[in-house]
Structure 1
């Protein structure tokens, strides 16, 4: 039963919803709760990591990384299921109801609101430690050319995804696919740059998560952002493949718009990270 033609009366809400979710806000789904459980597990994994690497090992050292990796997988699984049933399942059988599109965009705004709160908590922690004695130990060279290049790549990707959406709205399918492909490539290169930065800090310089309060803030915030960029790249990849299949038109582009909103969000967060962590930490 498709979303558009599921109009029978007298049927209760399906929990968890499968084929007929979402339809406005009337249907329920377990997927957001799965994502929330995964997100909570990330914090639990981080806590277990510190408990397992202190002067007294309260838990096995491997407990934190295992819980963190499993929670990240659960978080991504929940988001995939949520987005799949929202944007992919029964795509061709659904209509282009502007009310449904507005509901999905509003849902993305609510999701981004929770993300702002999550990153905000991390920034508040950094501001709290920043007002104390600074620097709190020896810090590595933070504001490198790699950071500046990565920043330029991510800022450029915001422009390419924006003009990709404009091209689609103008029914320029070739321009849409080309610019979206460039955005995806820039995102992948950015992720590779951040992995290389972590390699330099951890392997070559010995700067790790346990090296003081700044290290915990740095790796927590940049790692959380890297996870979001990775998710964004996955979403861009899904949209790109669906674009190749001809599933978007000037009238049907809700998932393109919402993914674009998400990508702009991770770009803005990165600019804050550069100013606060890299520039502020080195000052």
Structure 2
């Protein structure tokens, strides 16, 4: 609980970091910094992976840095969002103006995400037209695993849609059940993608350094996998808040914004399947 001295010096600001970690820093929060360090470490891990293949650093350095950085990123994201939206939830009213700002904030964020993935697709089509595209043939990508995994992710969008409908109708039990199922399906999808990577790398010898198709494939699907992992963290936070009774037919803006994000990553995955998996299966590695 913030002290009277802290309240007297907050200058009218109401940032959630007053009770945030580490204590003693007033309104300064370290969670965005932790998240940024984790995000930067992902790129460091990718660089170390390439250096490991060249024998410059131990081969385990890249994967270890990557996994650790993803974990740090997700922990930082959880702490950031928890202190931003959960800690002071009961102190805020159901202000429709504030809810509208959050929805438009998510729309703006998704705009930047569209730009990010668009750049990735432009890169893919650019290198596909280059001379080096014929250097490697991809393995058989469009198998039963990717079909099952895609079906799971699409099903999660359906369950989340009906979960959102349920809370708007005040059906809390149905909302909790469908939300839990959505989170479970998301986790299964992430596990399925990790298993797919294992199959490609270990059994097919198809890695990030397997020609320009390998770099494009793992770059785009890995970026999407990171976004799904972020979405799973968001769903977990929403589910935890739902168990605390923080949603009702009148107060569910976080469910709306997280739903927008989750439907977006699902749509991006469909595009990735068509472009990468179906494209490689139909046209092969040669343009």
Match of 2:143 in 1: 144
Residue in structure 2 matched with residue 52 of structure 1 by the alignment: 52
Partner of 1:207: 206
- 1:18 is paired with a residue of what secondary structure? helix
Structure 1 residues 45-54 or 9-18, which shifts more?
Answer: 9-18
Instruction: Give the gaps of 5 or more residues in structure 1.
Output: 21-26
Q: Is the 8 A contact 1:49 1:64 kept in 2?
A: yes
Aligned equivalents of 1:159, 1:173: Cα separation in 2: 17
Structure 2 residue ranges without an equivalent (≥5): 21-26
Please, what is the CA RMSD of the aligned residues?
A: 2.8
2-structure distance, mates of 1:7, 1:106:
30
Taking the aligned partners of 2:63 and 2:101, their CA distance within structure 1 comes to 37
Alpha-carbon separation, structure 2, partners of 1:15 and 1:159: 35
CA distance in 2, matches of 1:152, 1:244: 28
* 1:68-105 CA-partner distances (Å, limit 9, x unpaired): 23332332233212211222112222211122222322
Which structure carries more relative contact order (alpha carbon 8 Å, separation 6+)? 2
- How does 1:102-113 map onto structure 2 within 5 Å? 102-113=100-111
Q: Distance in 2 between matches of 1:137 and 1:244?
A: 50
Partner of residue 277, structure 2? 278
Q: How does 1:102-251 map to 2 (within 5 A)?
A: 102-133=100-131, 134-251=133-250
Distance 1:252 1:29 in 2: 26
Matched ranges for 1:61-80 at <5 A: 61-80=59-78
Across the two proteins, how many residue pairs are aligned to each other? 272
Contact 2:38 2:70 in 1 (8 A): yes
With normalisation by structure 2, the TM-score equals 0.83
- How far apart are 1:64 and its partner, in Å? 2.9
- The separation in 1 between residues aligned to 2:47 and 2:16, in whole angstroms, is 31
Q: Which residue of 2 aligns with 1:39?
A: 39
Matched residue, 2:267: 268
1:114, 1:73 → 2: CA distance?
23
Q: Distance in 2 between matches of 1:275 and 1:212?
A: 20
1:88/1:14 Cα in 2 relative to 1: closer, same or farther (>3 Å)?
A: closer
Aligned residue for 1:264, secondary structure, equals: helix
Higher helix residue share: 2
Partner Cα separation in structure 1 for residue 247 and residue 209 of structure 2? 47
The SS at the match of 1:92 is helix
1:225 positional shift: 1.5
* 1:9-49 CA distance string (max 9 Å, x none): 971658893349xxxxxx88554454334323322321232
